[in-house]
Structure 1
Amino acid sequence: MRKLITAFKVSVDGKVEAAQDMADWAEAWSDDYGLTDEIDACVLGGKMYPGYERYWTGIQTEPDKPAWITGTAPTPGELAWARFAAKTPHYVLSTTVTSVAWPNTRILRKRDDIAALKQEAGKDIYLMGGAQIAASFIDAGLVDEIRLIVYPLIAGPGKGLFALTEQRRELELCKVQQLPGGKLGLTYGLA
């Protein structure tokens, strides 16, 4: 069975967004988790999809232009992810999204559709949706692995990664990496 992997860039106090709805500490939105060789599908929530589509389409079509979220030119890692994402199947889990412009993208309506996707042949699946969808998938027992890049800062007010989970979950530490700038890479399996 394929694993469903979710990954986040978090502050030491577990925030995925500051009070202004952005993780302004994240240096880039590239694959800093080492997923591209391990996955062949991506799942997003309906709230994240419009911004995701706009951001990565902009990088693909105008790779030398500053990206609309960051205001800076895309990093080499972001350019690599844009190429990878363009050829990788994406699934948007939503009851409200009615159409998608991103190539190779399908809309799924129920979490059970993701459970069925995990049963299909292929590599692992990246759940990139956001804290709310990650919490619901963790509570449903669908997430197999959590990868975190922990930034050395206390964000204070903001959205906590696990603030929306409803159940206690045991985690197994699988990997620890010391990263540049005082960051830590943590990989956990869900028990």
Structure 2
Amino acid sequence: MRKLIAGMKISVDGKIEGPEGYADWVEAWSDDYGLMQHVDACLLGANMYPGYEQFWTTIQNEPDKPLWIDGRLPTPDEVEYARFAAQTPHYVLSSTLTSALWPRTSFLRRLEEIAALKQQPGKDIYLVGGARTTASLIDAGLVDELRLIVYPLIVGEGKALFATTKGRRVLELRSAQQLQGGRASLIYGIG
């Protein structure tokens, strides 16, 4: 069975966004969870997908132009991820969205469809987010692994990754690695 692996960038206090509505502490949005070679599909929630699609399409179409979000040039890893995203099937959990610019995008309406997707042959599935989707899929017992990049920062106000998670979950630490700039990579199994 395929694993559903969530990857998120968070502050030490568990925030994925600051009070302005974005994670201004993240320097690049490329895959630094080590997932690209291990996955062949991506899953996102309805709130996150439109901005995700726009961001990666912009980098794919204009890799040498500053990004509209923050005015910086895309990193080489972001350009590589944009190519990966363009070729990889994406699934969006949504009861309302019905269309996407990317031709390899499908819409899932129920959690049972995610369970069925995990039963299909293939590599693992990258759960890109957002926070509410990740929390609901953890609550449903569908997420097998959580990969976090923790930034050495206390944000205070902002959106917490697990704000909507119901109940307690015990995680199994599988890997911990120190990264540049005081960041840490943590990989947890979810039982």
- Output the TM-score relative to the length of structure 1: 0.98
1:58 — aligned with what? 58
Describe the SS at the equivalent of 1:188.
strand
1:113 — aligned with what? 113
Tell me the distance in 2 between the aligned counterparts of 1:34 and 1:70.
Answer: 25
Describe the SS at the equivalent of 1:97.
coil
* Deviations 1:103-146 (CA, angstroms, capped at 9, x unpaired): 31111111111110000000000111211000000000000000
Aligned structure 1 segments of 4 or more residues deviating by more than 2 angstroms: none
* Deviations 1:79-105 (CA, angstroms, capped at 9, x unpaired): 010011111110111011021111311
Letter in 1 for 2:23: A
1:82 — aligned with what? 82
- How many pairs were matched up? 191
Task: Report matched runs for 1:172-187 at 5 Å.
Answer: 172-187=172-187
* Deviations 1:142-167 (CA, angstroms, capped at 9, x unpaired): 00000000000100101111111001
Describe the SS at the equivalent of 1:63.
coil
Task: Report matched runs for 1:10-25 at 5 Å.
Answer: 10-25=10-25
The answer to whether structure 1 residue 42 and structure 2 residue 48 are counterparts is: no
2:130 — aligned with what? 130
Tell me the distance in 2 between the aligned counterparts of 1:8 and 1:39.
Answer: 16
Tell me the distance in 2 between the aligned counterparts of 1:70 and 1:143.
Answer: 31
Tell me the distance in 2 between the aligned counterparts of 1:11 and 1:142.
Answer: 24
Describe the SS at the equivalent of 2:132.
helix
Q: Is contact 2:8–2:129 with CA below 8 Å preserved after alignment?
A: no
Task: Report matched runs for 1:85-164 at 5 Å.
Answer: 85-164=85-164
Tell me the distance in 1 between the aligned counterparts of 2:131 and 2:147.
Answer: 13
The share of aligned pairs that are identical, in percent, is 65
Describe the SS at the equivalent of 1:7.
strand
Q: Is contact 2:3–2:125 with CA below 8 Å preserved after alignment?
A: yes
Tell me the distance in 2 between the aligned counterparts of 1:149 and 1:55.
Answer: 20
Tell me the distance in 1 between the aligned counterparts of 2:188 and 2:16.
Answer: 17
Give me the CA root mean square deviation.
Answer: 0.7
Unpaired runs of 5+ residues, structure 1, are none
Residue 70 of structure 1 and its aligned partner are, at CA, apart by: 2.5
Q: Is contact 2:11–2:150 with CA below 8 Å preserved after alignment?
A: yes
Describe the SS at the equivalent of 1:128.
strand
Describe the SS at the equivalent of 2:101.
coil
